[in-house]
Amino acid sequence: MRPKIRYFVFNKPYDVLSQFTREAGHQSIADFFILDLKDVYPIGRLDKDSEGMLLLTNDKSLNSALLSPKALKTKTYLVQVEGKLDKTAISKLSEGLRITIDKKEYTTLPAKVKMVDEPKHLWERNPPVRYRKEIPTTWAEISIKEGKNRQIRRMFAAVGFPVLRLVRIAVENLVLDRILPGDVQEFDKQEFFNKLNIK
């Protein structure tokens, strides 16, 4: 009997690995996701220092639909950076810029970037971001259509603004809504595919 196909959104907390395998010193998805579904896996990744939306499923067709370079699915993040972000940096981020990944130069695709007020609805991070009174921070929202290794951190570093906090809040029209860190929300296939713009 074939297993039922299931679709989930997991709000990945800070310092949790985007995998079910546990590694010494770090929690993994397995510490939160308690359903007995051995074939469920994450689609894509968030590095352990990042938070927010992680998609989980046992539908193998979604790998190419979401992760293929041709898919160009929009992923949206809230970013807290060190320093006072300016229009010049936002312009460079928006137009695409050169970053280094695995010792190779790469030019990012154009992104949508805007400064935002500190999000009031966002949960407290545990542990909190280190506060330094003499150095201001800025919040931004950025949407990209790629997913290179630590890409957003590299992009902001390239324009002189180290990332303090990074939270993925949406993939296409699927929004992390009222799901607290460590929680899982299940979707039916039609809603999941519609929100992710998968035909």
39 is catalytic: no
Picking from 53, 14, 44, 18, the residue whose alpha carbon sits closest to that of residue 176 is 53
pLDDT 10s digits, 149-196: 899 999 999 999 999 999 999 999 999 988 999 999 999 999 999 999
pTM for the whole structure: 0.94
Active-site hit among 47, 86, 177, 188: 47
pLDDT 10s digits, 79-119: 999 999 999 999 999 999 999 988 899 999 999 999 999 99
